[in-house]
Amino acid sequence: MDKYDNDNIFARILRGKIPATILCEDDMTLAFMDIMPRADGHCLVIPKAPSRNILDVKPQDIAAVMQTVQKISRAVMKGFDADGLTIQQFNEQAGGQMVFHLHVHVIPRFDGVRLGPHTGIMADTDLLEKNAEIIRAAL
């Protein structure tokens, strides 16, 4: 396993070097909209402490992340009137991880609607903000 890269995109978001559509924040975690969503309402939760993935995260940091994941999940379900959720977390390149800062995807799901592919295409910022407002209102 490689070392943590302090210049990864999520570390830069945490330092305020890259903008993000923030949903909520506390001392240990940050939740924000995924800029390449696979569904409306797709968001991410990350620890503020540096950790590459599940393999090196400190227990207190993963516990805080999962508490925020639950909080965001409830808001996503309520705000989007979703039928369910997909929670995803990838580890190392072979496991599908693309950004090497621990992150958990929260994706609202609807009966009969397939999850969109990861296209690498960034969503419109107005759409991300509209979806963020729905989640924030449900928090």
pLDDT, tens digit, for every residue of 25-45?
A: 999 999 999 999 999 999 999
- What CATH number labels 9-138? 3.30.428.10
pLDDT at residue 124 tops 80: yes
Given this model, what pLDDT does residue 51 score? 97
Around Cβ 83, how many Cβ atoms within 10 Å? 12
47 close to 31: Cβ distance less than 8 angstroms: no
Does residue 42 have an active-site annotation?
no
List the chain domain ranges.
9-138
DSSP for 55-110 reads TT--HHHHHHHHHHHHHHHHHHHHHHT-SEEEEE---TGGGT--SSS--EEEEEE-
Given this model, what pLDDT does residue 2 score? 83
The pTM for the full model equals 0.97
Annotated active-site residue in 42, 101, 103, 105: 103
Given this model, what pLDDT does residue 137 score? 98
Q: For residue range 99-122, what is the model confidence (pLDDT) as tens digits?
A: 999 999 999 999 999 999 988 899
Grade residue 82 by pLDDT with cuts at 50, 70 and 90: very high
The answer to which of 34-38, 91-95, 117-121, 130-134 has the lowest mean pLDDT is 117-121
| Amino acid, res. 134 | I
pLDDT at residue 52 tops 90: yes
